[in-house]
Amino acid sequence: MALKNFWYVADLSSAIINKPKRINLLGRDFVLYRNTKGQVAALSNWCVHRGGSLSHGWVEDDCLRCPYHGWKYRADGVCIEIPANRAGAPIAKRARVKTYPVQEKYGWIWLFLGDLPTAERPPHPPLPEFDKPDWRVIYGEFLWDAPYTRVVENAIDIAHTPFVHATSFGNRDEPQVENYDMHLAAWSGSASVMLKPRRSKGLWRYIHRKDSPGVKTTATFFMPNVTRLEVDLGNGAQMIIFGSHKPIDDYTTLTQWIQLRNFFTHPWFDGDAKRRTLKIFREDQKVVETLNPNRALHPLATEFHVRSDALAIAYRKLNQQCLNRGWGINQPLNNSVDSSRRTISMPNSDQSKASELTKV
Q: Which residues sit at the interface with ligand FES, rule CB under 6 A?
A: 47, 49-52, 66, 68-71
By beta-carbon proximity to ligand FES, the closer residue of 49 and 208 is: 49
Total Cβ atoms within 10 A of residue 116: 15
Contact 45, 22 (CB under 8 A): yes
Pick the closer one to Fe ion by CB: 249 or 309: 309
- The minimum distance between CB 49 and ligand FES, in angstroms, equals 3
* Cβ-based nearer residue to ligand FES, 95 or 127: 95
Site for Fe ion in 278-297 (CB under 5 A): 284
- At closest approach, how far in Å is the CB of 43 from ligand FES? 12
Q: With 0-12 CB in 10 A as exposed, 13-18 as middle and 19+ as buried, what is 275?
A: exposed
Residue 58 or residue 187: which is nearer to ligand FES going by CB?
58
Q: Which does 230 bind (CB under 5 to 8 A by kind): Fe ion, ligand FES, none?
A: none
Contacts of 68 (CB under 8 A, 6+ apart): 47, 49, 50, 52
- In whole angstroms, the minimum distance from the beta carbon of 87 to ligand FES comes to 17
CB of 116 to ligand FES, least distance (A): 30
| Residue number, 50 or 317, with CB nearest to ligand FES | 50
Residue among 318, 336, 314 nearest 327 (CA): 318
> By the 8 A CB rule, do 224 and 244 touch?
no
Kindly tell me which of 13 and 355 has the beta carbon lying closer to ligand FES.
355
- Minimal distance in Å, beta carbon 170 to Fe ion? 8
Q: How far apart are CA 104 and CA 252, in angstroms?
A: 24
Q: Name the residue type at position 142.
A: F
Please say whether the beta carbons of 226 and 244 come within 8 A: yes
According to DSSP, the residues that pair with 228 across neighbouring strands are: 220, 242
Q: Find, among 112, 106, 318, 313, the residue nearest to 228 by Cα.
A: 106
Burial of 354 (0-12, 13-18, 19+ CB in 10 A): buried
Q: Which is nearer to ligand FES, 28 or 65 (CB)?
A: 65
* Cβ at position 57, least distance to ligand FES in Å: 8
Interacting partner of 49 out of ligand FES, Fe ion, none (Cβ under 5 to 8 A depending on kind): ligand FES
User: Does residue 11 interact with Fe ion by CB under 5 A?
Assistant: no
Binder of residue 284, out of ligand FES, Fe ion, none (CB less than 5 to 8 A by kind)? Fe ion
Q: What minimum distance in Å lies between the beta carbon of 147 and ligand FES?
A: 33
Residue nearest to Fe ion (CB): 284
Give the span between the Cα atoms of 312 and 300, in whole angstroms: 10
Site residues (vs Fe ion, CB under 5 A)? 284
